[in-house]
Amino acid sequence: MIGFLGEYEATLDAKGRFLLPGGLKKQLPEGENRFVISRGFEKCLNLYPVKTWEGLTERISKLNDFDPKVRQFKLLFLGGATEVELDTAGRILLPPSLKEHAGLSKDIVLASNVDKINIWDAGKYKQFFEEFSSEAFSSLAQQVMAGGEVV
The whole-number pLDDT of residue 120 equals 98
The whole-number pLDDT of residue 147 equals 67
Whole-prediction pTM: 0.90
The whole-number pLDDT of residue 103 equals 96
Q: Can you tell me the distance from the alpha carbon of 48 to that of 68, in angstroms, rounded to the nearest whole number?
A: 26
Of 18-22, 25-29, 101-105, 106-110, give the lowest mean pLDDT range: 25-29
Give 123's contacts (C-beta < 8 A, 6+ positions apart): 105, 107
Residue 50 has pLDDT above 60, yes or no: yes
Residue 19 has pLDDT above 60, yes or no: yes
Residue 110's nearest CA partner among 97, 98, 123, 119 is 119
The whole-number average pLDDT for the span 57-74 is: 96
Q: Can you tell me the distance from the alpha carbon of 145 to that of 45, in angstroms, rounded to the nearest whole number?
A: 25
Task: Choose the most confident range, by mean pLDDT, from 14-23, 126-135, 142-151.
Answer: 14-23
Angle of CA points 28, 32, 34, to nearest 5°: 115
The whole-number pLDDT of residue 10 equals 98
The whole-number pLDDT of residue 150 equals 52
